[in-house]
Structure 1
Amino acid sequence: MSRLAVPPIRPEIDRILPPFVEAPVARARPLSERLWQQGWLRRGLILAALALAWEGLARWQDNDLLLPGCLATLSALADGVASGEILDRVRISLTVLAQGYLAGIVLAFGLTSLAVSTQFGRDLLSTLTAMFNPLPAIALLPLALLWFGLGTGSLVFVLIHAVLWPLALATYAGFQGVPETLRMAGRNYGLTGLAYVGRILVPAALPAILSGLKIGWAFAWRTLIAAELVFGAASGRGGLGWYIFQNRNELYTDRVFAGLLLVIAIGLVVETVVFASLERVTVRRWGQVR
């Protein structure tokens, strides 16, 4: 047998590197550019611009009965806060909202868990959402008043309807988008039922679930204000919506705008503080969204 050919050994090459020159320090960005990177500042400028446009339009209109200015509205809001009346109305509204919102979340997760576990649950979810999701929640208020009477139960009923279907659809869509690899990992660990949903599907579908929670919150908040306009007129009491309705009847337009401004402010706080913080400590921290 012939000896195996030995490959030639390549000669070593020494490369002389150029001397290291310290990289120049990056120039610090100007203060204006650093401030512009702050999201709260950009949003604040947008709100300030809207307030200036509002005040300018009100002064050009020159009719406080039709369009009070931003300063007059803020003054009416300060008076309502000082007297405690508007804060009491907000407390009533938020208490009812919390009851309906939490009940809708529980029912939505129960219905969605059934849908991902059984074929009957999937058929039930698709049928019910096709029937009731297009139905406006406020349209059920007369029926709710007939069933539950003039009380909190009527408002809670329409709030559950406003939250349940969009949240169930968003959650189920998120569950459907979970990668098969994660599903197989859960089955390999022997997870079934609620344990499989809670440990595998919910963390993986959390971005879609949070989107559904935000949509459900928006639907519930505006449904509550609209329902209180009718419910408050019928019962003589109510929350922030009744405050707006009552002052509209008495032609206190600045108080009407103060109530509307407070509705917007509560929506902004929930959206930019509550949900933004929840996203920051969960899906953004975990790298599930950008």
Structure 2
Amino acid sequence: MAGPETTGATDATDTTATGTTATGIAASRKKDAQDMEGLEAGLDALDTVQIRRTSPTEVLVQKVLPPIVAVALVVVIWKLLVVAKVTDDYKLPDPGLVWDALRQLWLQGELLDIIWTSVSRGLFGFLIALAIATPLGLVVARVKFVRAALGPILSGLQSLPSVAWVPPAVIWLGLNDQMMYTVILLGAVPSIANGLVAGIDQVPPLFLRAGRTLGARGLVSARHILLPAALPGYVAGLKQGWAFSWRSLMAAEIIAKSPELGLGLGQYLENQRNNSDMAGVLLGITLILVVGIAIELLVFAPIERRVLRSRGLLASAH
């Protein structure tokens, strides 16, 4: 039978062990808390986007200088080929002759009119295509029967060369602006709609379930959930849709000729071909290329940067 001294010693031992265990648990919890804080700090550092304004010098070096150097290199190679007489002069004119053709158009006051005729048509046709393709893409993406019926047709129309629509459009509508816009729509609508469908397909289902829980259905869900979540794919479709709009318009202007249509870039290019003026042909091609690049850089590139930046996909603001 244990005496009082033994019982007291046992209680003291238990108390000491309990205290040691409690101290170990507290230390373990403290260490876990410190580890968690370190992990959260690391994740916050990864998620943090360092936003800073790009200096004018960086813009000049990174954005402006490279294309200028590339253009200068092309002109130099072109000049060397002319000097080496790799082909007849009428097939490859001197770059100076192209510059003279540009200068002549400017002095005659026709340059801006020619460019504006095509740009205004292209932008207006693109806006119409946007208004048609956006609801069409939403319906195709969300309604299974419509997708099964129209999905393959949209993909087929997207792969069909735009120039194929010019002859039937001329027969249907005649030589007028309505014919031009029809060709643009048939070229741009499938690209924009398919881009939106692809973007919606990549929206996590959790977003839609969360929206339904909050009462977002129908048009409200499309406006506040589907379109914002599908924005990267939608913007890619818009860029491709503009490219198809511009290509379709140039094909229509090259083929269709009428005083009612005015003189656009495509018709100017065709006129120079009929005159066997290779300098004018190269100038027309250059102007078409410059306008396409300018619209991309001034309109779609800023939109794309803003979308990517809002999702933390750009390291700095430009």
Q: d(CA) in 1 for partners of 2:150 and 2:186?
A: 14
Q: Is the contact made by 1:141 and 1:158 (CA closer than 8 Å) also made in structure 2?
A: yes
1:160 to 179, 185, 191: 185
2:68 to 44, 66, 86: 44
- After TM superposition, the structure 1 = structure 2 runs for residues 226-237 of structure 1, keeping only pairs within 5 Å, are 226-232=251-257, 237=262
| Higher gyration radius (CA) | 2
The alpha carbon displacement at 1:173 in A equals 0.7
Q: d(CA) in 2 for partners of 1:245 and 1:183?
A: 51
The alpha carbon displacement at 1:88 in A equals 1.3
- Distance change >3 Å, CA 169–CA 284, structure 1 → 2: same
- Distance change >3 Å, CA 234–CA 283, structure 1 → 2: same
Q: Is the contact made by 1:111 and 1:121 (CA closer than 8 Å) also made in structure 2?
A: no
Q: Single out whichever of 153-162 and 231-240 deviates more from structure 2.
A: 231-240
Write 1 or 2 for the structure with the bigger share of helix.
Answer: 2
2:276 match: 251
- Distance change >3 Å, CA 130–CA 208, structure 1 → 2: closer
SS at match of 1:287: coil
**2:286 matched to 1:286?**
no
| Count of residues paired in the alignment | 268
The alpha carbon displacement at 1:161 in A equals 0.9
Any idea what the Cα deviations from partners look like across 1:227-286, whole Å, max 9, x if unmatched? 111112697744111111112212222122111111111111112232111122232243
Q: Is the contact made by 2:154 and 2:194 (CA closer than 8 Å) also made in structure 1?
A: yes
1:7 to 12, 20, 44: 20
Q: Is the contact made by 2:114 and 2:265 (CA closer than 8 Å) also made in structure 1?
A: yes
2:140 match: 115
Q: d(CA) in 2 for partners of 1:173 and 1:152?
A: 32
- Distance change >3 Å, CA 119–CA 251, structure 1 → 2: same
* Paired amino acid for 1:273: L
2:83 match: 59
2:46 match: none
**2:213 matched to 1:188?**
yes
Question: How big is the alpha-carbon RMSD for the aligned residues of Structure 1 and Structure 2?
Answer: 2.6
Structure 2 unaligned spans of 5+:
1-9, 25-56
- After TM superposition, the structure 1 = structure 2 runs for residues 55-204 of structure 1, keeping only pairs within 5 Å, are 55-61=79-85, 63-204=88-229
1:16 match: none
1:264 to 289, 293, 310: 289
SS at match of 1:133: helix
Which fold has the larger relative contact order, with Cα–Cα distance below 8 Å and residues 6 or more apart in sequence? Answer: 2
Any idea what the Cα deviations from partners look like across 1:128-170, whole Å, max 9, x if unmatched? 2144233222111111111111101111111101101121111
Q: d(CA) in 1 for partners of 2:168 and 2:59?
A: 53
Q: Is the contact made by 1:231 and 1:238 (CA closer than 8 Å) also made in structure 2?
A: no
- Distance change >3 Å, CA 279–CA 251, structure 1 → 2: same
Identity fraction in percent: 30
Q: Is the contact made by 1:166 and 1:212 (CA closer than 8 Å) also made in structure 2?
A: yes
* Paired amino acid for 1:266: V
Q: Is the contact made by 1:64 and 1:254 (CA closer than 8 Å) also made in structure 2?
A: no
TM-score (norm 1): 0.83
- Distance change >3 Å, CA 236–CA 208, structure 1 → 2: closer
Q: d(CA) in 2 for partners of 1:69 and 1:182?
A: 59
Structure 1 unaligned spans of 5+:
11-32
Q: Is the contact made by 2:176 and 2:261 (CA closer than 8 Å) also made in structure 1?
A: no
Q: Is the contact made by 2:251 and 2:266 (CA closer than 8 Å) also made in structure 1?
A: yes
